[in-house]
Structure 1
Amino acid sequence: MEILLAEDGLHPQKRSNMILPMFRSPFAVALWVVALTSPLQAMRADAFACTQSEVSLTYVRYEFAVQKDAQGVPVMDWKRFRQAPERVVTRPRRAVILENAYLKATLIPSMGRVHSLIHPGSGREQLWINPVAIPLGANNDTGFWMTWGGIEHVMPSREHGTSHALKWDGHIVTDTSQEKRVRMQTVEPLTGLKHQIDYAIRPKDPFLHAHIQVSNPHPHPVRFSHWTTSTLAPGGGRQVSPRTELVVPAKAFVPDERDFNDWMPPLVGPTETSPLKWVGQWKSIGDLMATPLLQGFYGVYAHERREGLLRVFPLDKTPGFDIWGWGYPPTEARMREFTRAIPSMGYIELWNGNVHGFSEEALTTIAPGRTLSWTESLKVVSELELPLMESMAHHLP
């Protein structure tokens, strides 16, 4: 079964079927409001659902300063943005919720994003969701990046590419007793590459699976990169905690060659013993890489709540790895770079990609008429034993 989501995220017939009954009685209206606004409800062990819903995004208004260039890339006019009074707005976005006994994932198909990931056992959020998002300058062809939080998939080059700013089409392609699957797709304007992400769950599977496809419809090769960017704050605190541990199956951390990383070298070393594996040891902003990954996964675990995330990916398809942090605690000036909800400890941002690094030289090539595909999977983990590296490995599919 395939359900096409309209511009507001709902199939027109589904929308009318939902709206007409909702005003039949005040009690029905009350139930509708509760369904949209109440916190996570207790989930049955056999819960398995795909539900159309709505989320509210609060952010500093920026759309007026973004225009498409001749190639169709949304580009920020920073002069226009800064000349206007800053105004915070809240806008609804249609969403799709995938849930089973192990996870509750909220997707925003029109943005190609995972907005939320909740552990049903505790009711805690594992991603970072910005209470008041803002645009910040970025080294890409759009000139900006919105600090929404959550998880995104970006192409075709540099940091966050253009995908973060594009409009995506969304479909519910499978809604059966065996699988729930949502498809998000767009065409990257600079390369013309077709970009498709299918998010899927199964009833007795603890992983949220992202089935990724990149297709080249051209008669010539195209150079590109693909990164999955995850802004994380596991444990339900809505911001990253100091005893959040980074679990990276590599021999050693390696600071990127950037001036602001000058505080890092004394702290680098083996990934299992380096102080940099603790978010609370990040003295300032930093961009941290590692020697080649030995296994295709990483973990982020908040010891304060004994909860975290495990991300699994095929190492032969996505060997690239990077970590970004704002320092702990970030200064107020740094906080104001990523949010208007002050104070905020922010998030830790992990990347996995099909190339090493963000330079033009690092780009890979997709042949004419070819489609590249792979699957990345995400799982909430809790109550792990030490050492975490071994515990995380036991949870691999």
Structure 2
Amino acid sequence: MATTVRRAVLTLPAAATGPENPLPALRPLDETHVIDDGDRAGLPRDMARQLGHTPLATVLPVRTLDGYGRERTPTDLEAIVIENDHLRVTVLPGLGGRIHSLVHKPAGRGLVYANPVLQPADFALNGAWFSGGIEWNIGATGHTTLSCAPVHAARVPAPDGGEMVRLWEWERLRDLPFQVDLWLPDDSAFLHVGVRIRNPHEQPAPVYWWSNIAVPEGERTRVVAPADEAWHFGYERTLTRVPVPETGGTDRTYPLRSAYPADYFYEVPEGARRWIASLDEHGHGLVQTSTDLLRGRKLFLWGSGPGGRRWQDWLTEPGTGGYAEIQAGLARTQLEHIPLEPGGEFSWLESYGPLAADPAIVHGNDWAAARAETEQRLADVLPRADVDAAYAAWRARADTEPGESLATGSGWGALEVRRGRYKLPGTPFADSTLGEQQAPWLELLEQGTLPGPSEAAPPGPTLVSWHWRDMLETAPAEPLTEYHLGVAQWHADDRAQAVRSWERGLATASSRWPLLRCLAVAAQESGQRERAADHYTEAFDGLCAERGDGEAWTAATAALGRETIEALLTAGRAEAARAVWAGLPPEIRARGRFRLLEARLLIAEGRTGDAKALFDAGFEVADLREGAEVLEEMWHRLTDEPLPDLYNYRMRPRA
């Protein structure tokens, strides 16, 4: 059959991602993939330089997603299916353009791990993320803020005369447009993926990209890559060079032979072909290869320990099989960012398809032979020259304007194109996508004034790049303008000026709680616990006085209530914290995150028995952060009993 592209609906048991948290994300990133500055001394010079290249302090201007739960209901998801005689590719444009499944039709086998449920968890830079399939990670170290966000999608003429699917969006952490073109030639068993990131600005931009592929894992699943060494990153936050395949007496290329989760970034030799494969006991599985710009290759494994197994069950359904991740990125490790010059672009082509190799060699004791066998089988089905030729053919079509729209992303790209007058052939950001969140910023751009709210509501999102900060500084100094200006200044690390802007706005504001909350964070970050507690208390009381109906108000109440209780407990004010707790709606207090907060409150009140009873009754913290050990730590404060599996999310050995 000729390749077809069609719309479809994929129905999965899904937990809703919930509304955005309306409180601006002023605090530092809670990202586990960092190392101490002192540990950089022994690293290669280019790696050390890229590790320190323009790290993010916050996820501004993006809002966090933390309002999801664990209750799943059958949900219809918008999908795009690309299919020929060899492969069927199912894409979710409403969820970051994730490839949900990649099926090799002749064998009737899924080449990637297709999660049977959609369960958000706190793994993305801005919170909600879900596991499975192939994910396009752009922005900064970690899972993209677009994990649970819509992207634009459309049909585009393919180089072979057929059709391909273009996905594109404006990545807001770095203010960069990007595109992902999915091209499945008529008689090909390989899906080609053309990627382009452009920098339309007048200054260099730090770029991060990793294509993240979830693959089924079994006892005899082996990950093979063209390397004899790797950079090992464990959740002890150290980066060390180790031999491949065996480290510490264990062959780490078999994901289930390790006890704890870990990253292995393979040191692919200069000039070697870029590829990585995951092969089962029969030597069958998925191979990913690319043009040379996409340098890095990585294995992430959950391991066989109870913490890793608990995370697997948490992200999917118990008994549905586990997964590992094989990845491909621009740098050697995910801790690095690469500068992209003004007006420049990074572009490359990836190819994904089935591979069959001799299992006796793949699983033999000779690592060099296993690598050579895998690479030869890849060369047989997809020579390196063919990938280069496919890239050249695709790149000639990268500027082609899209045809029929298949999905619509956000309006932020349209706003930035309007502001910067950018010309971005191939990725149109149409004015028709501008919406309610962009409306006040469009008025600031065109009229020089940020409009006040038409009704009582939590403030909308803030734009923080220097262009918008300059416009806010010259706009009339209304309280809402001062609020947004302070957020932009905070993002620019001009904290003293941010505090002054919030204080100016507070003097005349009719709705004081958003400004007070910002001042509370500023006080907390500077170590002023009592001042922070005072500001938080006044902010929460003000919110309760104004609070209306709707999910934005519920999200604001939950977020500010949590922060206020935590600040009061930090200041030693358990009685005041209990009063805030009592002021929360019952449906918020019933959430797992607030059950954990209640246990902390009970401990502060000296009621450890009641706190232990909460744990004994059982609860789940839906937004438990990747790498968090708070459940285990609190359990051991309450009892000497062994930690129940329900609360074991440990991702590193105990010290």
* TM-score bracket for this pair, using the shorter chain length: 0.7 to 0.9
Compute the displacement of 1:178 (Å). 3.8
Find out whether 1:57 has 2:40 as its counterpart.
no
Counterpart contact for 2:357–2:374, Cα < 8 Å: no
Q: How does 1:5-44 map to 2 (within 5 A)?
A: none
Find out whether 1:350 has 2:326 as its counterpart.
yes
Q: 1:32 matched to which residue of 2?
A: none
Find the aligned partners of 1:372 and 1:260 in 2 and give their Cα distance.
29
Give the AA of the match of 1:367. Answer: E
Give the AA of the match of 1:51. Answer: R
Percent identity over the alignment is 22
Q: How does 1:285-300 map to 2 (within 5 A)?
A: 285-293=261-269, 294-300=272-278
Q: 1:244 matched to which residue of 2?
A: 221
Secondary structure, aligned partner of 2:147: helix
Compute the displacement of 1:275 (Å). 1.2
Give the AA of the match of 1:221. Answer: P
Q: How does 1:154-303 map to 2 (within 5 A)?
A: 154-174=137-157, 178-233=161-216, 240-259=217-236, 269-271=243-245, 275-293=251-269, 294-303=272-281
Compute the displacement of 1:65 (Å). 5.2
Q: Compare the two structures and name the one with the higher helix fraction.
A: 2
Compute the displacement of 1:320 (Å). 2.1
Give the AA of the match of 2:300. Answer: W
Q: Which moved more, 1:53-62 or 1:148-157?
A: 53-62
Secondary structure, aligned partner of 1:389: helix
* Per-residue CA distance 1:263-300 (angstroms, 9 max, x = gap): x99xx633389611112312222222233344300111
* Structure having the higher Rg: 2
Find the aligned partners of 1:57 and 1:260 in 2 and give their Cα distance.
35
Find the aligned partners of 1:285 and 1:374 in 2 and give their Cα distance.
30
Counterpart contact for 1:229–1:352, Cα < 8 Å: yes
Counterpart contact for 1:74–1:165, Cα < 8 Å: no
* Per-residue CA distance 1:142-192 (angstroms, 9 max, x = gap): 1x2422410011111111132323320100113797433000000011222
Counterpart contact for 2:267–2:332, Cα < 8 Å: no
Compute the displacement of 1:48 (Å). 3.0
Secondary structure, aligned partner of 1:164: coil
The alpha-carbon distance between structure 1 residues 103 and 68, as it changes in their structure 2 partners (threshold 3 A), is farther
* Per-residue CA distance 1:352-396 (angstroms, 9 max, x = gap): 11123233xx21111112222110111112354534423332323
Secondary structure, aligned partner of 1:163: coil
Give the AA of the match of 2:373. Answer: S
The alpha-carbon distance between structure 1 residues 319 and 242, as it changes in their structure 2 partners (threshold 3 A), is same
Counterpart contact for 2:235–2:261, Cα < 8 Å: no
Find the aligned partners of 1:257 and 1:97 in 2 and give their Cα distance.
37
- Which runs of 5 or more structure 1 residues have no equivalent in the other structure? 1-45, 234-239
Secondary structure, aligned partner of 1:138: strand
Counterpart contact for 2:234–2:262, Cα < 8 Å: no
Q: Under a length normalisation based on structure 1, what TM-score does the superposition of the two structures give?
A: 0.75
Give the AA of the match of 1:242. Answer: E
* Per-residue CA distance 1:8-56 (angstroms, 9 max, x = gap): xxxxxxxxxxxxxxxxxxxxxxxxxxxxxxxxxxxxxx45322222212
Instruction: Return the match for 1:115 from 90, 100, 109.
Output: 100
Find the aligned partners of 1:175 and 1:370 in 2 and give their Cα distance.
24
Find the aligned partners of 1:319 and 1:203 in 2 and give their Cα distance.
28
Counterpart contact for 2:274–2:291, Cα < 8 Å: yes
CA RMSD of aligned residues (A): 2.9
Compute the displacement of 1:139 (Å). 6.6
How many residues were matched structurally? 331
Q: 1:379 matched to which residue of 2?
A: 353
Q: 1:127 matched to which residue of 2?
A: 112
Q: Which moved more, 1:183-192 or 1:375-384?
A: 375-384
Find out whether 1:367 has 2:341 as its counterpart.
yes
Counterpart contact for 2:180–2:194, Cα < 8 Å: yes
The alpha-carbon distance between structure 1 residues 217 and 135, as it changes in their structure 2 partners (threshold 3 A), is same
Secondary structure, aligned partner of 1:374: strand
The alpha-carbon distance between structure 1 residues 47 and 326, as it changes in their structure 2 partners (threshold 3 A), is same
Counterpart contact for 1:102–1:380, Cα < 8 Å: no
Find the aligned partners of 2:154 and 2:257 in 1 and give their Cα distance.
42
Give the AA of the match of 1:286. Answer: A
Compute the displacement of 1:245 (Å). 0.8
Q: 1:31 matched to which residue of 2?
A: none
Find the aligned partners of 1:254 and 1:365 in 2 and give their Cα distance.
22
Give the AA of the match of 2:310. Answer: A
Counterpart contact for 2:17–2:128, Cα < 8 Å: no
Counterpart contact for 1:200–1:209, Cα < 8 Å: yes
Secondary structure, aligned partner of 1:212: strand
Q: Compare the two structures and name the one with the higher strand fraction.
A: 1
Find out whether 1:90 has 2:74 as its counterpart.
yes
Secondary structure, aligned partner of 2:252: helix
Instruction: Return the match for 1:320 from 289, 292, 296.
Output: 296
The alpha-carbon distance between structure 1 residues 211 and 100, as it changes in their structure 2 partners (threshold 3 A), is same
Secondary structure, aligned partner of 2:268: coil
Find the aligned partners of 1:174 and 1:204 in 2 and give their Cα distance.
17
Counterpart contact for 2:234–2:261, Cα < 8 Å: no
Counterpart contact for 2:17–2:148, Cα < 8 Å: no
Counterpart contact for 2:260–2:304, Cα < 8 Å: yes
Counterpart contact for 1:261–1:287, Cα < 8 Å: no
Counterpart contact for 1:67–1:76, Cα < 8 Å: no
Find out whether 1:99 has 2:83 as its counterpart.
yes
The alpha-carbon distance between structure 1 residues 376 and 176, as it changes in their structure 2 partners (threshold 3 A), is closer
Counterpart contact for 1:310–1:381, Cα < 8 Å: yes
The alpha-carbon distance between structure 1 residues 116 and 203, as it changes in their structure 2 partners (threshold 3 A), is same
Find the aligned partners of 1:156 and 1:176 in 2 and give their Cα distance.
29
Secondary structure, aligned partner of 1:57: strand
Instruction: Return the match for 2:64 from 75, 81, 85.
Output: 75
Find the aligned partners of 2:177 and 2:354 in 1 and give their Cα distance.
30
Find out whether 1:311 has 2:294 as its counterpart.
no
Compute the displacement of 1:261 (Å). 8.6
Q: Which moved more, 1:95-104 or 1:186-195?
A: 95-104
Compute the displacement of 1:92 (Å). 1.5
Q: 1:389 matched to which residue of 2?
A: 371
Find the aligned partners of 1:226 and 1:177 in 2 and give their Cα distance.
27
